[in-house]
Amino acid sequence: MVKSEVPAATSKRLLAAARELSAQVERLKFRSPVTHTYNPLTYAWRAHAEYLRRFGGSRKRVVFLGMNPGPFGMAQIGIPFGEITAVRDWMGICTPIAKPAQEHPKRLILGFDCPRSEVSGRRLWKLFAERFGSPDNFFAEHFVVNYCPLAFLAASGRNLTPNLLPRAERDRLFKLCDEHLRAVLAILQPEWLIGIGGFARERAELAAVNSKLRVGQVLHPSPASPKANRHDWGRTATQELRQLGVWK
């Protein structure tokens, strides 16, 4: 198990980094096909801050890296891969959630009252809950972060991932996200950075340049992935982590 620095100091540094990232991305502008941009680090800050305070108070051996908020997960409640039942019932986090400045009528923010399941988050946190039992056991050496804090919506309400943004907008956004990721890694000092999916692994590799950080990848648990749907995602991810040497 990785030894911790003073817990309050570690989580305070994560909170400061998240606030800085939120303020920076708030200043960015996005054009068509993006019509609505959600920043849960603003309207869902209370839940995100509680996640960082409760579970980010120590160094971590493994950091899992996701892409950006899903429409029924972090976009609703501010926590990476935020399957509501997992966050509320397993992590014990349930706070009031406000509204984004401009809300899409087809993608309303209902917070912990959202009836939809975030399938990726359900698969991810189910694996961790089954393997480690309590959240304290999991977060003792592990943490989950998203690369980009923003969710993007088209006029139809369709979710747009950040890699689909126009080049100039993508470059400005990624510069800020890269800086934040490096700050998180400096705070948590992990041995491993595991990309959840190919995009996250690419960003992880860039963040790990000129460092001793070891980078790996697991299959993304998204229902858009035929392989994740065809097989038991938790079993597949466990095998991948064992093959890397992350888990025994």
Q: Which residues contact 28 (CB under 8 A, 6 or more apart)?
A: 169, 172, 173, 176
Q: Which residues contact 209 (CB under 8 A, 6 or more apart)?
A: none
Strands 36-38 and 192-196 turn out to be: unpaired
Residue 163: strand, helix, or coil: helix
d(CA 127, CA 123): 6
For 16-80, the DSSP string reads HHHHHHHHHHHT----TT--EEE-HHHHTHHHHHHHHHHH-SS--SEEEEE-S--TTTHHHHSST
Residues across the chain: 248
The whole-number mean pLDDT for each consecutive block of 10 residues of the chain, a chain of 248 residues, reads 58 98 98 96 98 97 98 98 98 98 96 97 98 98 98 96 96 98 97 98 95 96 89 95 97
* Rg, C-alpha atoms of the chain: 17
- pLDDT the model gives residue 231: 82
For 51-65, the DSSP string reads HHHHH-SS--SEEEE
Angle, CA of 170, 174 and 178, to the nearest 5°? 175
Query: For 7-70, where are the E strands, in sequence order?
Result: 36-38, 62-66
Q: Is the peptide bond before 33 cis (omega within 30 degrees of 0)?
A: yes
Residue 215: strand, helix, or coil: strand
- pLDDT the model gives residue 3: 43
- pLDDT the model gives residue 210: 86
- Both tokens of 115, joined, read 């009836």
- Domain 7-244 sits in CATH at 3.40.470.10
> In this predicted model, what pLDDT tens digit does every residue of 191-246 receive, in sequence order?
999 999 999 999 999 999 989 999 999 999 999 888 889 889 999 999 999 999 99
**β-bridge partners, 63:** 143, 193
Q: What is the pTM of this model?
A: 0.95
Residue 81, by phi and psi: left (phi above 0), alpha (psi -120 to 50) or beta?
left
- Both tokens of 206, joined, read 């860039």
